[in-house]
């Protein structure tokens, strides 16, 4: 996660993180990316059931029962376990978390154990009563998914009227005094609406926007052909940077972030080197503290059945189940080969990522995207949009990557999308 506004506009500085000793337990939420001890934020998909049918849903959720989901009692015990391990933030996700009635009990328990709680929702079910409960249970943030304006959102989300209902949900949150923001997953089917999303933020007085790059997981795995080409991604990221600067220049407080393409980190650094070199060095420091992709390190996912994954896009790979072992034991067990790679990938990355001069601030980007694309957790990430010259591998053997002979390379793609 890259805090574009804070880094580009200088509203966060290294001193802010140092003031808290860069310790997870001391730091406010917006500085957690710069912690030294990297305690994991946990995404808990505590139900897989959903009232919508979104095209890119990484959980491949439907409106049906899923057998074997963690019970309320198991959920309460899990929260105790996470609190003991020092997990700072628990993100209730789904499916649609508001479809499970024990959300309120579990969320209150997490707050009682000192864990910050976040709700990730499609917003459709947030009426005034639900907003009041969200507020009472102490959620520190509600992220509502919006994938376009009006009909565009409805088409991507699989339900007519979903946009209006989500906007109503956002208004209820704001009226209840809850901090609410938008989550916008960008691809070819909606990238032309990004400007409208910035306008929506302004019109509805929404303080925060997270722009998610597409991850190839669940139904999103079938959308690879609708992912942006590198040059398109670059244009979109330029637009995001410009919007952040424009809000800031006009004195309008908005927090804009990007998620799941950590190439954005070096790209922001390169942009500052060009436009504001005096600030580039301190931002480089913060980006290296941020450390780029944190799957298997400072981001974890627990699915509805209790399986622990490197992140929410890696449900095809489990490190173990919280019904069998404590979360902390699973998370620190490097006998698992993928956990070992994710915890210590720096000198093992291959191809462009292996030779890249920006590894300290990108960390090889989203490993599961490389794995889904090449069949190799150490392969270069096809989502990278920097050129070989920019990353310093032009004319070196790092330019080339050969997948292992036994890798299960996806057959619907034939060439890497790394070059501009």
* Residue 359 CB, nearest approach to ligand SF4 (Å): 5
First-to-last C-alpha distance (Å) of the chain: 23
Nearer to ligand SF4, 304 or 314 (CB): 314
Phi-psi region of 177 (alpha: psi -120 to 50; beta: other; left: phi over 0): left
* Residue 293 CB, nearest approach to ligand SF4 (Å): 8
Nearer to ligand SF4, 98 or 391 (CB): 391
* Residue 90 CB, nearest approach to ligand SF4 (Å): 28
- Quote the CA–CA distance of 203 and 413 in Å, as a whole number: 41
Measured between alpha carbons, how far is residue 306 from residues 191, 245, 338, 380, 413 in Å?
Answer: 35, 42, 18, 30, 33
Cβ contacts of 379 within 8 Å, gap of 6 or more: 350, 351, 353, 370, 371, 373, 401, 403, 407
* Residue 121 CB, nearest approach to ligand SF4 (Å): 30
Burial class (CB in 10 A: 0-12, 13-18, 19+), 65: exposed
Nearer to ligand SF4, 4 or 206 (CB): 4
Nearer to ligand SF4, 51 or 295 (CB): 295
* Residue 365 CB, nearest approach to ligand SF4 (Å): 4
* Residue 392 CB, nearest approach to ligand SF4 (Å): 9
Residue ranges in contact with ligand SF4 by CB under 6 A: 262-263, 266, 352-353, 356, 358-359, 362, 364-365, 380-381, 384, 386, 391
Nearer to ligand SF4, 8 or 386 (CB): 386
> What distance separates the 2 farthest-apart alpha carbons in the chain?
61
Nearer to ligand SF4, 153 or 352 (CB): 352
Nearer to ligand SF4, 97 or 291 (CB): 291
- Quote the CA–CA distance of 361 and 367 in Å, as a whole number: 14
* Residue 89 CB, nearest approach to ligand SF4 (Å): 25
Nearer to ligand SF4, 320 or 354 (CB): 354
Angle made by CA atoms 96, 179, 192, in degrees to the nearest 5:
70
* Residue 291 CB, nearest approach to ligand SF4 (Å): 12
* Residue 241 CB, nearest approach to ligand SF4 (Å): 16
Nearer to ligand SF4, 263 or 271 (CB): 263
- Quote the CA–CA distance of 325 and 348 in Å, as a whole number: 29
- Quote the CA–CA distance of 376 and 418 in Å, as a whole number: 16
- Quote the CA–CA distance of 224 and 101 in Å, as a whole number: 35
**CB–CB of 153/147 below 8 Å?**
yes
Q: What is the DSSP string of 146-191?
A: --SSTHHHHHHHTSTTHHHHHHHHHHHHHHTT--EEEEEEESTTTG
φ and ψ of 121, to 5 deg: -145, 160
- Quote the CA–CA distance of 395 and 213 in Å, as a whole number: 29
- 261 CB-side CA count, 13 A: 29
Nearer to ligand SF4, 239 or 270 (CB): 270
Exposure string for 10-36, b = 16+ CB within 10 A, e = fewer: eebbeebbeebebebeebeeebbbbbe
- The β-bridge relationship of strands 320-321 and 116-121 is unpaired
Q: In sequence order, what are the beta bridge partners of 206?
A: none
Nearer to ligand SF4, 44 or 313 (CB): 313
- Quote the CA–CA distance of 186 and 194 in Å, as a whole number: 8
* Residue 401 CB, nearest approach to ligand SF4 (Å): 11
* Residue 378 CB, nearest approach to ligand SF4 (Å): 11
């Amino acid at each position: 996660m890259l805090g574009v506004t804070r880094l580009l506009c200088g509203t966060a500085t290294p001193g802010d993180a140092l003031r808290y000793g860069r310790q997870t337990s001391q730091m406010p939420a917006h500085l957690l990316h710069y912690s030294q001890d990297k305690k994991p934020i946990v995404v808990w998909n505590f139900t897989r059931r959903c009232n919508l049918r979104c095209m890119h849903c990484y959980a491949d959720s439907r409106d049906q029962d899923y057998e074997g989901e963690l019970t309320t009692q198991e959920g309460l015990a899990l929260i105790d376990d996470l609190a003991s391990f020092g997990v700072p933030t628990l993100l209730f996700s789904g499916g649609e978390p508001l479809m499970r009635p024990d959300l309120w009990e579990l969320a209150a328990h997490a707050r009682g154990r000192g864990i910050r709680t976040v709700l990730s929702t499609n917003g459709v079910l947030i009426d005034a009563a639900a907003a009041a409960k969200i507020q009472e249970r102490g959620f520190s943030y509600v992220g509502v998914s919006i994938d376009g304006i009006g009909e565009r959102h409805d088409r991507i989300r699989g339900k007519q009227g979903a946009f209006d209902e989500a906007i109503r949900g956002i208004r209820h949150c704001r009226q209840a005094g809850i901090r609410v923001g938008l989550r916008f997953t960008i691809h070819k089917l909606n990238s032309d609406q990004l400007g409208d999303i910035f306008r929506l933020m302004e019109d509805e007085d929404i303080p925060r926007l997270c722009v998610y790059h597409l991850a190839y997981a669940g139904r999103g795995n079938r959308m690879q052909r609708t992912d942006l080409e590198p040059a398109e991604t670059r244009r979109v990221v330029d637009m995001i940077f410009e919007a952040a600067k424009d809000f800031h220049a006009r004195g309008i407080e908005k927090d804009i972030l990007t998620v799941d393409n950590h190439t954005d980190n070096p790209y922001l650094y390169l942009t500052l080197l060009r436009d504001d070199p005096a600030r580039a060095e301190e931002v480089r420091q913060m980006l290296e503290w941020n450390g780029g992709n944190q799957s298997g390190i400072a981001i974890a996912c627990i699915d509805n059945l209790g399986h622990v994954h490197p992140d929410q896009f890696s449900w095809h790979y489990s490190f173990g189940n919280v019904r069998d072992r404590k979360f902390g034991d699973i998370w620190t067990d490097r006998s698992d080969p993928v956990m070992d790679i994710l915890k210590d990938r720096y000198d093992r990355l291959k191809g462009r990522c292996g030779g890249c001069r920006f590894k300290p601030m990108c960390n090889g980007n989203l490993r599961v995207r490389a794995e889904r694309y090449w069949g190799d957790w150490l392969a270069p990430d096809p989502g990278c949009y920097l050129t070989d010259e920019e990353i310093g591998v032009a004319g070196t053997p790092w330019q080339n990557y050969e997948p292992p002979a036994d890798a299960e390379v996806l057959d619907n793609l034939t060439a890497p999308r790394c070059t501009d």
